[in-house]
Amino acid sequence: MSITIATWNINSVRLRADLVARLLRDEAPDVLCLQECKSPVDKIPLETFAARGYGHMVARGQKGYNGVAILSRLPLEDAGHRDFVGKGDARHVAARLENGLTIHNYYVPAGGDVPDRDVNEKFGHKLDFLAEMRAWFTDTAPEKSVLVGDLNIAPREDDVWSHKQLLKVVSHTPIEVDTFETTREAGNWVDVTRADIPEGQLYSWWSYRARDWSAADKGRRLDHVWASADIAAAAHGSRILREVRGWDQPSDHAPVFASFDL
């Protein structure tokens, strides 16, 4: 059985419900994980997605901020959520498929503008969030699991348009990259996108502020698909759908896809 999973920071699921429906129609993933839904769960337009065959959803939401949802055309069981850093933010939710695969959907805090936790508490919050993820993975080794989401860190030099120019820019600072890698390694997670596409520049986000985002191409790979080590060899077919960033009234993120033969 092959399962295709996609992750996409949608930046308002209500404003962009038609774009979600278009992606479901054109690309037909089995599971689509969304971040920054910016909606209470009961206001997510599930009927729009159910009409496309995606009637199963597990989500956590809040008004205006954050929000994560897992849409599926296969039955889903709610596998809970965790309130990282105790702020009550809707930044994590998990679901389980009938074949036993657990899917974790994360929206890691962006971390503000200044990469110094002494003057910017949002940066400290981001590092603390990652440390809590790491502690959880150390305590309970993930098995038969996929972790996806907007992790708001671009770890590799070829995950950003300019390694040198972004060394002091939140999302690519050494402390974030180190924390990101120790967090991933604590769970023996495999970076599926880079296992499939090991060479070359790879981005999933381009700022709204660029005059011409595609020509400037100042992107970063902030959105990730990880697999637990026991199923990593089953992963294949990773892609980032750059063209989706060019749709009308787009999200500033492109969706990331991976498939698993389970």
262 contributes a contact to DNA by CB under 7 A: no
Q: Annotated catalytic, 56?
A: no
Contact residue for DNA among 64, 75, 198, 246 (CB under 7 A): 64
Q: Is 92 a catalytic residue?
A: no
- Between residue 207 and residue 226, which ones bind DNA under the rule CB under 7 A? 208-209
Give yes or no: 65 in active site.
no
Quote the Cα angle for 19-82-40, to 5°.
40
Angstrom distance (rounded) from CA 205 to CA 186: 26
Q: Return the DSSP state at 55.
A: -
Which has the closest alpha carbon to 201: 156, 238, 142, 158?
158
Determine whether the annotation assigns residue 152 to a binding site. yes
- Choice from 25, 63, 87, 168 touching DNA (CB under 7 A): 63
Q: 9 or 238, CB closer to DNA?
A: 9
Residues 21-60 that bind DNA (CB under 7 A): 36, 38
Q: 140 or 249: whose CB is closer to DNA? A: 249
112 binds DNA (CB under 7 A): yes
Task: Check residue 122 and report its DSSP letter.
Answer: H
* Cα distances (angstroms) measured from residue 58 to each of 33, 41, 87, 160: 10, 9, 20, 32
Using CB under 7 A as the binding rule, whether residue 164 contacts DNA is answered as no
Q: Which of 89, 150, 159, 191 is catalytic?
A: 150
In whole angstroms, what is the distance from residue 205 CA to residue 211 CA?
Answer: 15
Q: Does 249 bind DNA (CB under 7 A)?
A: yes
DSSP letter assigned to residue 245: G
Check residue 64 and give left, alpha or beta (phi > 0: left; psi -120 to 50: alpha).
left
| Window of 7-15, 25-33, 154-162, 225-233 that interacts with DNA by CB under 7 A | 7-15
User: Which residues are the active-site residues?
Assistant: 107, 150, 253
Binding site residues, DNA, CB under 7 A: 11-12, 14-15, 36, 38, 63-65, 109-112, 122, 208-209, 249
